[in-house]
Copies of this chain bind each other. A is one copy, B any other.
C-alpha cells in the first residue's frame, strides 16, 4: 500500500529574518521519515507555475491538468456530494444579500450553516427552458449549482463579481448558441431564485437576508479514466475540504468522510490518522489531505503555520505500515506573500525500495541536496508505483 500526504501550501520561503515554517517547526516524525527515505523538490505543474488547488491536485494524482481539468465548478459540486453527468455545467455558489440590484454582502452576513440549509430547500431544484438547475448547500454561505440539459456551455461569465457592487447579468464568453442559451438560463434562474428567497420566512427576519445565489467557476463535467484503471490501484481520499473530495470523486476514488475533518485549523487530526490506518487495510492507495497549512499562509501567519506543522507531526506521526509514504504539498504558499507561488515544494519518499539519501530534515532548503532531485507533479504516482514494486514494464 501507499500513502500520499498533501500538506496544502506547505512550501515556503525564508522571510523577515525567519527560516521557513518547515525549517523552524519541531517535527521529529517528519524528519524521521526523511532519515528513512529520500527528498527532493517538486514543481506541481512546471517550474515557476503557481498551481491552483484544483489543477495542482489533478497533476499530483496523475491527471493531465491541461486536458483533463473540467474547471473548478464540477470539482466543487462533486465535493459537496452531487452526482454529475457528462455535459453538466457546474458552479460554485454562495448565498449573498442583494438589495436593489446591489450586492450588499457577498456572504449574506456569513450565514450559519443550519439556517442556510433551511433556506436552501426552497431553491434545490428549478427548471428553466428545459434545463434542470440543482443547488446543494454545503457549509455557511457556500454551495454548488449544476445545470443539466442539452446544448449547454461553460463559456459564460461569473455572476459573482467577487466584490461588493452591482449584480451583473451572466454573459456568454463566446459567440455560440450554447453559451448564449446557458447565460440566458442562468439569468432567468438568478431572477427566479431571488424571487423565491425574498419571500422566505427566515430571510424576513434576517438583517442581511440570504436572498440571492452568486455563481462562479463554471465548468463542464466530463468523464475521465478512473484512477484505478489508469494506475491499477484502488484509491481512497481522506480530506476535509469539498474540493479535495471532489477531485477524488472526479477520478473515481472512494471518499472516506471522517467526523471532525473540517478542512480548517480545528480539524481533528487524530481522527484523520485513525481513518488512514483503517483505509490502509482496504485500499492500495490512500490520499490524505490537510488544508490549514495553506490557510495560515494566506493569512500571513508564520507562527500559526509553524505551530500547525508541529500539530500535524505529533498527531499523524507518519509511522504507518506501508510500502511507501510520500509527503509533500500541492504548491508553495509563502506566508510573507499570502498567496500561492511557483516555488518548488519539498517532497519525501520513504519506503523499503527507496534509495535513501543523506538528508536528515524535511524542509525546502535541505531538499535542494536531496537524492530525488527535481520532479514534476505528474511523476509522483509513477514513482509511488515503482516504490511499491507494482509498476508494469513499458514495452517488453
Contact = CB atoms under 8 A, between A and B. Distances in A.
A26 to B, nearest CB: 22
Contact of A50 (B54, B69, B394): B394
Contacts of A391: 48-50, 341-342
A387 B50 CA distance: 11
A396 B75 CA distance: 11
Contact of A52 (B48, B343, B356, B394): B394
Interface string A70-101: 00100000000000000000000000000000
Contact of A382 (B49, B69, B373, B383): B49
Interface string A18-60: 0000000000000000000010010001111111111110000
Nearest to A56: B395
A249 interface: no
B393 A340 contact: yes
Contacts of A53: 395-396
Interface string A354-396: 0111000000110010010111100101111111010111111
Contacts of A343: 353, 355, 386
A341 B375 CA distance: 18
Contacts of A386: 48-50, 341-343
Q: Is the interface of A mostly helix, strand, loop or mixed?
A: loop
Contacts of A353: 13, 334, 337, 341, 343
B383 A217 contact: no
Copies in the complex: 2
A253 B283 CA distance: 48
A391 B47 CA distance: 11
Nearest to A331: B393
A341 B355 CA distance: 13
A14 interface: yes
A392 B49 CA distance: 8
B45 A394 contact: yes
A208 to B, nearest CB: 26
B395 A51 contact: yes
A341 B373 CA distance: 18
Interface of A: 13-14, 38, 41, 45-56, 65, 69, 72, 217, 334, 337, 339-343, 353, 355-357, 364-365, 368, 371, 373-376, 379, 381-387, 389, 391-396
Nearest 9 interchain pairs by C-beta: A52-B395, A55-B395, A48-B382, A342-B386, A48-B383, A47-B379, A368-B371, A373-B374, A48-B386
